[in-house]
Amino acid sequence: MSKAKANSKPKDNVSPTVRIYIMGEAKDVPASLTIMKAIEYAGYKLTRGAGCRAGFCGACATIYRKEGDYRIYTALACQTMVEDGMYLTQLPFVPAEKAKYNIKDLSPSAETILRYYPEVARCLSCNACSKVCPQDLSVMDYVQYALQGQIEKATEASFDCVSCGLCAIRCPAEIPQYHVAELVRRLYGKYIQKYPETLDKRVKEIEDGVFEEGFKEFMSMSHDEIVEKYKARDFIDQKKK
């Protein structure tokens, strides 16, 4: 995050405002903004710690304190609203070493997890990781599943992880939970998940240009037309298939 030359003073006719502290510097910003938008409003240019801006990429991990509150809070800057008296800073990178491996040489087992991430054996079951997760995942549970070699359960529990790293920052056992989650999902995809019977057929249809006309039609439509088409789409009841 770097300071731009833009004027950091509040713009006219904007009310109400709150006072926040960005990297220790006081800024008055509209109360209707997210942390990310407030940082930019205050004149900062986000060169790191910004991505999809919708809460799905995990790039904007943020820690903050509130005035008169001793606790440290964690969040994603793109989905958290500013509050008066908020002292904040962003974490564009989490220093957690990622293991290197060839997935083809591994097996979906507890031994594999412990070989590449032996830290999981230090888990204290304190649940601090789950409490800070902006996705509300049961992080402690998937770490325990991984430790037990229950790869499928670990995959299901960690499926919505966006690798923001906040869990690793708060972990007293210094476990890189989000890297563990990535490994179990890769093991599941390689060795446990069933190969879709229709995948090869659909790939061939794409290569043969079966959907080209549909793509052209879609690209020529207006935003409103796309919305209406989306609303009118056919739903497939997966339970009946």
Residue 209 resides in a domain: no
Summarised one tens digit per residue, pLDDT across range 208-218 is: 999 999 889 98
Binning pLDDT at 50, 70 and 90, where does residue 1 land? low
**194 DSSP 8-state letter:** P
Residue 185 resides in a domain: yes
Quote the domain boundaries for residue 110: 103-192
List Cβ neighbours of 164 (8 Å cut-off, separation of 6 or more): 58, 59, 60, 61, 76, 94, 134, 178
- Same structural domain for residues 78 and 138? no
Q: What pLDDT does 195 receive?
A: 86
Q: What pLDDT does 48 receive?
A: 84
What is the pTM for the complete model shown? 0.75
- Same structural domain for residues 124 and 176? yes
- Same structural domain for residues 122 and 171? yes
Q: What pLDDT does 185 receive?
A: 97
Summarised one tens digit per residue, pLDDT across range 162-189 is: 999 999 999 999 999 999 999 999 999 9
Residue 71 belongs to domain with CATH number: 3.10.20.30
Where is the domain boundary, 36, 58, 90?
90
Among 7-11, 104-108, 127-131, 206-210, which is the least confidently predicted range? 7-11
Q: What pLDDT does 5 receive?
A: 43
Where is the domain boundary, 35, 58, 90?
90
Query: What mean pLDDT value characterizes the chain?
Result: 90
Residue 96 resides in a domain: no
Q: 139 with 179: CB under 8 angstroms?
A: no
List Cβ neighbours of 80 (8 Å cut-off, separation of 6 or more): 34, 35, 62
- Same structural domain for residues 56 and 8? yes
Q: What pLDDT does 235 receive?
A: 67
pLDDT at 6 > cutoff 60: no
Where is the domain boundary, 175, 192, 209?
192
- Same structural domain for residues 185 and 134? yes
Residues facing 72 on adjacent strands: none
Catalogue the E-assigned strands of 118-178: none
pLDDT at 234 > cutoff 90: no
Give the pLDDT mean for 98-122: 97
Percent of residues, the chain, with pLDDT higher than 90 = 72
Give the pLDDT mean for 76-97: 92
- Same structural domain for residues 117 and 156? yes
**Strand 73-76 vs strand 61-66: parallel, antiparallel, or unpaired?**
antiparallel
Q: What pLDDT does 229 receive?
A: 87
Residue 7 resides in a domain: yes
Summarised one tens digit per residue, pLDDT across range 27-67 is: 999 999 999 999 999 999 888 888 888 878 899 999 999 99
Angle, helices 151-158 vs 177-187, to 10°: value is 120
Q: What pLDDT does 237 receive?
A: 57
> What is the residue type of 83?
E
Residue 206 resides in a domain: no
If one counts the domains in the chain, the total is 2
Q: What pLDDT does 8 receive?
A: 44
Residue 169 belongs to domain with CATH number: 1.10.1060.10
